[in-house]
Amino acid sequence: MWETEARRLCLIDGIAAPQPQMPVRTEAGVFYADLGWRAAMLAYEIDGEIKYLQDADAALSAQYRRETAIEAAGVHVERATPADVADGEGFLTGLRGVLPQSLCEENPVTALRTPFEIRRQGASW
């Protein structure tokens, strides 16, 4: 759910569409980033809380191994929480800080804006 919202935010803000479930080949196998921009060698993970409910230590250990393998393959990993995505403007500002400017200059997909966003259209985004 939050990956979909993050992707929608990118599209309405003129950020190139991220690839959902972007595969990253590593020495430890293929891992799938929640969202990714292959051209920027950037993987974006939206960390939901559900994976930490059972065995948080095991989940964190697996997450560390996975992230280390992805980084070793030359793909930078950024993380966000559902609260980060819900912030909208803050999420997009952070994302623009790690993406090359060329990926932030697409035409916004205004048809994906919510009624609230349409009413705020005069705001910064």
For the chain, give the secondary structure using H, E and C.
CHHHHHHHHHHHCCCCCCEEEEEEEECCEEEEEEEEEHHHCEEEEECCCHHHCCCHHHHHHHHHHHHHHHHHCCCEEEEECHHHHHCCHHHHHHHHHHCCHHHHCCCCCHHHCCHHHHHCCCCCC
pLDDT digits (tens, 9 = 90+) for 72-108: 999 999 999 999 999 999 999 999 999 999 999 999 9
Give me the domain span that covers residue 106: 2-122
The reported pTM is 0.83
User: How many domains does the structure of the chain reveal?
Assistant: 1
